Amino acid sequence: MIKKSSTGQRRSGENKNLPCKDCGQIVYNVDSNAVSTICWRCVNKQLNPNSLIASDLDPEAWKDLVKRKIFKLNGRSENTTAEGEL
Ligand SMILES: [Zn+2]
């Protein structure tokens, strides 16, 4: 009797992988009902058009960006020794 193994197979009716409709990167664990998806990067970019993705940046550029973002968000700097023009 041949029995198809289900070991290691994805469970049907659950999540699947889809390419991001914006950048084409595979997004994992998308709802199985979804016909298109968008990755967190693109979501983030849509929500914050001015934001940049950390992994897209050089570490130095990222640090610099974070510094500035934090300054802007808080409107003031706490606990920092960065050269400020405040
Ligand atoms: Zn994307």
Cα 27 to ligand 1 centroid, rounded to whole Å: 8
Give 15-70 pLDDT, tens digit per residue: 899 999 999 999 999 988 889 999 988 888 888 877 666 666 677 776 776 777 76
> Structurally, how many domains does the chain consist of?
2
Residue 4 in any domain: the answer is: no
Residue 61 C-alpha to ligand 1 middle, in angstroms?
A: 21
Q: How far does the centroid of ligand 1 lie from the alpha carbon of residue 26, in Å?
A: 8
Q: Burial level of 4, CB count in 10 A (0-12/13-18/19+)?
A: exposed
Q: What is the 3-state secondary structure (H, E, C) of the chain?
A: CCCCCCCCCCCCCCEEEEEECCCCCEEEEEECCCCCECCHHHHHHHHCCCCCCHHHCCHHHHHHHHHHHHHHHHCCCCCCCCCCCC
- Residue 26's domain comprises 13-47
Is the residue at 19 inside a domain?
yes
- Asked if residue 85 belongs to a domain, the reply is no
* Residue list, CB under 5 A from ion ligand 1: 20, 22-23, 39, 42
Supply the pTM of this predicted model.
Answer: 0.43
